[in-house]
């Protein structure tokens, strides 16, 4: 394993939705890399394929969704076709995941300490007694007050923020190389969101854990991540450094996303005007348009956009964009 080898490489990932009416591409040709300790964001509207991309990395796609092609490499090793048992030993131990809804993501009938302890029993062969002690430590690390008492609580006795802290404790219990966070703050109050985001940033930085952050919230993602991939209708349409994407969005969709974010000082700069919105909705998987999938909603669309699928084009500064009329 060379030092420059990326932690995670997703190459030309295809995910298909099988229905009675045939097979439809839910994710098409998605490629990205995450280096050790790097933070990468995956941004897009609901239904653009970001969550299923994450689930495919975990090997947790369920029918009717299935991997239709491409490679997923973890430190060089292809993992998309691993036998179930080997894949399980990666899950939780090297790649961990946090989900959107912390209420339903925890088993309602088990004390949260026990649910954290499972990780130590599964991956470190600890006894339950040791594991439960480690679980209390894990709760301390995610800054849950009175962790010894909280460990005995059931999920319904905790607030949303506390539950998400428990999820983070579970995910980071075995010090994974990669943490996939699927909309980890969407279900939380705004003030709690900031706490959770700071906690994730801090803990992952201390452990050198890479983060793949999935969100519809461009502002949140650029806050945490060094690099951002923007997805639209199953394809990556733009990849840029977080710092640049606000000032120089290349793809019309990203430009729309940026323009629809409220920002401090906007009124002073541009005067009183309405917040932008992107007209229309993301098409359903079974109804993707030909050519560039954004063309029905794009103000710059021309004939070529309807006919030809634009390639992902490298711009000089390391960013990528998939548009015939970018810039």
Binding site for other proteins (CB under 8 A): 58, 60, 84-85, 88-93, 96-97, 99, 101, 104-110, 118-119, 122-123, 154, 156, 167, 170
* Locus of tokens 């394929």: 49
Distance in angstroms (rounded) separating the CA atoms of residues 275 and 271: 11
Task: Supply the DSSP string of 303-321, one letter for each residue.
Answer: HHHHHSPPPPEE-TTS-EE
Nearest distance from C-beta of residue 217 to other proteins, angstroms? 21
Nearest distance from C-beta of residue 37 to other proteins, angstroms? 21
Indicate the residue among 81 and 89 with the shorter CB distance to other proteins.
89
Distance in angstroms (rounded) separating the CA atoms of residues 154 and 32: 38
- Considering all CA atoms of the chain, what is the largest pairwise distance in Å, rounded to the nearest integer? 67
Nearest distance from C-beta of residue 7 to other proteins, angstroms? 18
Nearest distance from C-beta of residue 322 to other proteins, angstroms? 30
Indicate the residue among 168 and 292 with the shorter CB distance to other proteins.
168
Nearest distance from C-beta of residue 302 to other proteins, angstroms? 43
Indicate the residue among 109 and 190 with the shorter CB distance to other proteins.
109
Nearest distance from C-beta of residue 47 to other proteins, angstroms? 18
CA angle 213, 202, 196 (to 5 degrees): 60
List all residues 6 or more positions away from 324 whose beta carbon is below 8 Å from its beta carbon: 292, 302, 304, 305, 308, 310
Nearest distance from C-beta of residue 50 to other proteins, angstroms? 16
Which stretches of 173-283 are DSSP H helices?
A: 190-207, 218-224, 242-247, 252-259, 266-270
Instruction: Take residue 160 and report the two structure tokens written for it.
Output: 């949303």
The 3-state secondary structure of 79-107 reads CCCCCHHHHHHHECCCEEEECCCCCCCCC
Cα-Cα end-to-end distance for the chain: 38
Indicate the residue among 111 and 249 with the shorter CB distance to other proteins.
111
3-class secondary structure, 34: strand
Question: Distance of alpha carbon 138 from its chain centroid, rounded?
Answer: 23
Question: Distance of alpha carbon 122 from its chain centroid, rounded?
Answer: 25
Instruction: Take residue 247 and report the two structure tokens written for it.
Output: 């000032």
Nearest distance from C-beta of residue 109 to other proteins, angstroms? 5
Distance in angstroms (rounded) separating the CA atoms of residues 221 and 223: 5
Indicate the residue among 104 and 260 with the shorter CB distance to other proteins.
104
Nearest distance from C-beta of residue 156 to other proteins, angstroms? 5
Indicate the residue among 50 and 123 with the shorter CB distance to other proteins.
123
Distance in angstroms (rounded) separating the CA atoms of residues 250 and 326: 5
Indicate the residue among 117 and 301 with the shorter CB distance to other proteins.
117
Contact at 8 Å (CB) between 42 and 8? no
Indicate the residue among 52 and 321 with the shorter CB distance to other proteins.
52
Indicate the residue among 25 and 111 with the shorter CB distance to other proteins.
111
């Amino acid at each position: 394993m060379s030092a420059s080898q990326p932690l995670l490489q997703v190459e030309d990932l295809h995910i298909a939705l099988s229905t009675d009416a045939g097979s439809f591409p839910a994710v098409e040709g998605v490629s990205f890399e995450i280096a050790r300790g790097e933070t990468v964001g995956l941004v897009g509207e609901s239904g653009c394929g970001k969550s299923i991309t994450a689930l495919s990395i975990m090997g947790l796609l369920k029918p009717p969704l299935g991997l239709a092609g491409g490679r997923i490499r973890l430190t060089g090793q292809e993992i998309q076709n691993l036998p179930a048992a080997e894949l399980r030993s990666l899950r939780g131990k090297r790649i961990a995941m946090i989900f959107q809804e912390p209420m339903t993501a925890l088993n309602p009938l088990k004390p949260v300490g026990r649910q954290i302890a499972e990780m130590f029993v599964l991956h470190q062969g600890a006894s339950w007694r040791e594991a439960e002690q480690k679980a209390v430590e894990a709760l301390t690390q995610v800054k849950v007050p009175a962790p010894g008492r909280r460990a005995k609580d059931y999920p319904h006795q905790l607030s949303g923020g506390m539950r998400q802290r428990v999820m983070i404790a579970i995910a980071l219990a075995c010090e994974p190389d990669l943490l996939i966070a699927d909309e980890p703050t969407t279900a939380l109050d705004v003030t709690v969101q900031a706490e959770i985001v700071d906690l994730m940033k801090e803990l992952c930085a201390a452990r050198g854990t890479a983060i793949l952050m999935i969100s519809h919230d461009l502002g949140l993602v650029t806050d945490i991540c060094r690099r951002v991939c923007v997805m639209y209708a199953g394809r990556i349409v733009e990849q840029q450094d977080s710092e640049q994407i606000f000032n120089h969005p290349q793809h019309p969709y990203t430009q729309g996303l940026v323009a629809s974010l409220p920002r401090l000082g906007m009124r002073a700069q541009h005067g009183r005007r309405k917040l932008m919105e992107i007209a229309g909705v993301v098409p359903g998987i079974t109804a993707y348009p030909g050519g560039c999938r954004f063309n029905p909603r794009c103000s710059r669309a021309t004939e070529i956009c309807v006919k030809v699928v634009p390639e992902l084009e490298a711009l000089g500064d390391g960013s990528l964009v998939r548009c015939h009329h970018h810039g």
